[in-house]
Amino acid sequence: MIVLGIETSCDETAAAVITDQREILSSVVLSQLEEHAVFGGVVPEIAARAHLSSLDGIIQAALSDADVTLNDLDGVAATCGPGLIGGLLVGAVTGKALSSTMNIPFLAINHLEGHALTPRLTDNIAFPYLLLLVSGGHTQILAVEDVGKYKRWGTTLDDAAGECFDKCAKLLGLPFPGGPNLEKTAALCPDHTAARAKFPLPAPMKGRKNCDFSFSGLKTSVRNYVDKTIKHTEIEYLAYSFQETMADTIADRCLVAMTRFRENFNVATPTLVVAGGVSANKAIRTRLTQTASQCGMSLYAPPLSLCGDNAAMIAWAGIERLRLGLTDPLDFKARPRWPLDATAEPRLGAGVKA
Ligand code: KG4
Ligand code: ZN
Which secondary structure element, helix H or strand E, spans residue 94, and what is its range?
helix 85-102
Which residues make beta-bridge pairs with 275? 133
Cα distance between residue 160 and residue 116, in whole Å: 17
The answer to whether 209 and 251 are in contact (CB under 8 A) is no
Q: How far is the CA of 194 from the centre of ligand 2 (A)?
A: 35
Q: How far is the CA of 266 from the centre of ligand 1 (A)?
A: 32
Q: Residue 27: CB within 6 Å of ligand 1?
A: no
Integer distance in angstroms from the first to the last C-alpha of the chain? 34
Output Rg (C-alpha) for the chain, integer angstroms.
Answer: 20
**Strands, E, within 20-128: which ranges?**
24-31, 75-81, 106-110
> Strand 129-134 relative to strand 271-275: parallel, antiparallel, unpaired?
parallel
What's phi and psi for 130, nearest 5 deg? -100, 135
Q: Using one digit for the tens of pLDDT, what is the confidence trace for 102-143?
A: 999 999 999 999 999 999 999 999 999 999 999 988 899 999
Q: Residue 87: CB within 6 Å of ligand 1?
A: no
Q: How far is the CA of 305 from the centre of ligand 1 (A)?
A: 12
Q: Using one digit for the tens of pLDDT, what is the confidence trace for 155-171?
A: 999 999 999 999 999 99
The side-by-side arrangement of strands in the sheet containing 149-155 is 149-155, 139-146, 129-134, 271-275, 298-300
Q: Residue 137: CB within 6 Å of ligand 1?
A: yes
The answer to whether 168 and 178 are in contact (CB under 8 A) is yes
Cα distance between residue 49 and residue 46, in whole Å: 5
What's phi and psi for 90, nearest 5 deg? -60, -50
Q: Residue 281: CB within 6 Å of ligand 1?
A: yes
* Close Cβ partners of 311 (under 8 Å, ≥ 6 residues apart): 5, 6, 7, 14, 15, 16, 27, 28, 29, 62
Q: Which atom, in ligand 1's list, is nearest to the CA of 275?
A: 1
- In terms of phi and psi (left: phi > 0; alpha: psi -120 to 50; beta: otherwise), the region of 196 is alpha
3-state secondary structure of 146: strand
This prediction's pTM:
0.92
The answer to whether 140 and 155 are in contact (CB under 8 A) is yes
The answer to whether 259 and 294 are in contact (CB under 8 A) is no
pLDDT in tens, the chain (354 residues): 999 999 999 889 999 999 999 999 999 999 888 888 778 778 888 889 999 999 999 999 999 999 999 999 999 999 999 999 999 999 999 999 999 999 999 999 999 999 999 999 999 999 999 999 999 888 999 999 999 999 999 999 999 999 999 999 999 999 888 999 999 999 999 999 999 999 999 888 888 999 999 999 999 999 999 988 677 679 999 999 999 999 999 999 999 999 999 999 999 989 999 999 999 999 999 999 999 999 999 999 999 899 889 999 999 999 999 999 999 999 999 999 999 999 998 776 655 444
Q: How far is the CA of 220 from the centre of ligand 2 (A)?
A: 25
Q: If you take atom 22 of ligand 1, which residue's CA is the nearest one? A: 179
The answer to whether 108 and 328 are in contact (CB under 8 A) is yes
